[in-house]
Structure 1
Amino acid sequence: MKKRLEKGTYGYMDRLKMWEWKKSALMLAIPVLVFLIGWAVMKTRLQVVTVIAVVGCLPGCNEVVHAIMASRYHSMDKKLYEEVEAARGDRMALYENVFTTYDKNYVVDCIIISGREVLGYSSEEKTDAKAAETHLTTILKQNSYKQNVKIMKNREAYLTRVKELASGEPEEVPFREDERCPGMTRDEVISFILQSISL
């Protein structure tokens, strides 16, 4: 069975890469086909169909940029995914996050959301944990959610903290339904905001 392309799930980045490249190929194939048919029928390239085909390549070229961007990243380690799944209990988890900013991108393998806690782990050496924390805290604060964001680089310490969160009761945080996300719990809204700023 084919898995849906859904942000925050295990295997998302690998599926995203394939999807973006397929879309790029299709979007570039159509204007090329239009050009070739126009050339075969009119026996010349100097025609309005050529202009249409060239302009028609622009969306495909934009899609190639998305595919190249997605190709820079890969899905997380399966063993880590299994360890987090076993440790998290019923806490909400987001996997394979690439948070984009104007200056840098932050790769965070997994995030656990529980009450005011947003606990992430990054195996990517280039990811600056403190800068990622600041970025996510700022984005959540701009959306009126004050969270304790912590991005960890030590895998064992992260798994230990996840188990601690799963074994305790989540902090009760006053919450009024967000009109942007009707019917969602507070943790689901936090998840929605984080997914919206992720690749």
Structure 2
Amino acid sequence: MEENKRIKGTYGYIDSLKRSKLVAIGIWAIFIALLLIIPSIIFKTRYNSFTIAAIVMILPAARQVVQYLSLLPFHSGNREEYEKIRSLTEGKSWIVLAADMVLASESGHMMLDMLVIYNGNVYGYAPAQKKSREAIEAYLTNILTEEDLIHKKPVVHENFEEFEEMVMMLAANEPSAPVEAGAIFSRLKSNCL
């Protein structure tokens, strides 16, 4: 998979999304400024329909700014850690690995550096952040319960070594009747920024 593609749930998604939002903000700012300046010079007045158009264009530009500001505190996880987990799950069709998941909730955003879905169960890695491990687990449980998806209680690790050991164990044991992880992954992606 190309690294410059912005696909939710892949490593580097957050940093790539932040860069694209920053570029979009710059383009909007230039466009609005030109829409204000050029007609003012040509018509020798600011009172024209282009000024109104420029003012209206501030709304979509502001949306880009708000999205960028909501992503500002988050960064893609550690590349070395991601590569370790990716090497463990590579070629294992019964395991889905997701990265850079910023879950949006009413009580605030929570960041999962990595997420492994195995046989209907969700295992996450979320290094220390404002939200507690229990709050993240409760939110994941709530998402999965709303969709009536078969699962056990999600487990979130704050320590990478513990998460790596869990993934090693999961990768070594192929389930006899694997549960489809696609529905769970789709539901989680729909709740992400």
Amino acid in structure 1 at the alignment position of 2:124: G
Which secondary structure does the structure 1 equivalent of 2:181 belong to?
A: helix
Q: Who is 1:193 aligned against?
A: 187
Unaligned runs of 5+ in 2: none
SS in 2 for 1:84: helix
Residue 117 of structure 2 is matched in structure 1 by 113
CA distance in 2, matches of 1:31, 1:15: 24
Matched residue, 1:48: 49
SS at match of 1:118: strand
Amino acid at match of 2:159: N
Q: Given that residues 120 and 184 in structure 2 are in contact (C-alpha distance below 8 angstroms), is that contact kept between their aligned partners in structure 1?
A: no
Give the alignment partner of residue 100 of structure 2, picking from 92, 96, 112. Answer: 96
User: In percent, how many aligned pairs have the same letter?
Assistant: 26
Moved over 3 A (4+): none
Number of aligned positions between the proteins: 188
Name which of 160, 167, 173 aligns with 1:162. Answer: 167
The answer to whether the 8 Å contact 1:31/1:57 transfers is: yes
Q: CA deviation at 1:81?
A: 0.6
TM-score by length of 1: 0.88
Query: Structure 2: which amino acid aligns with 1:198?
Result: C
Determine helix, strand or coil for the equivalent of 2:111: strand
The answer for the alignment partner of 1:177 in structure 2 is none
Tell me the C-alpha RMSD between the 2 structures: 1.7
Instruction: Report the Cα distance in structure 2 between the residues aligned to 1:125 and 1:58, rounded to whole angstroms.
Output: 32
Instruction: Compute the TM-score of the two structures, normalised by the length of structure 2.
Output: 0.90
Q: What does 1:1-199 align with in structure 2 at a 5 Å threshold?
A: 3-89=4-90, 90=92, 91-148=95-152, 149-170=154-175, 172=177, 186-199=180-193
Could you tell me which runs of 5 or more consecutive residues in structure 1 were left unpaired when the two chains were aligned.
Answer: 175-185
Shift of 1:170: 2.5
Superposed CA deviations along residues 1-49 of structure 1, whole A, max 9, x for unmatched, are 7620111111111111101111122223222211112101110112332
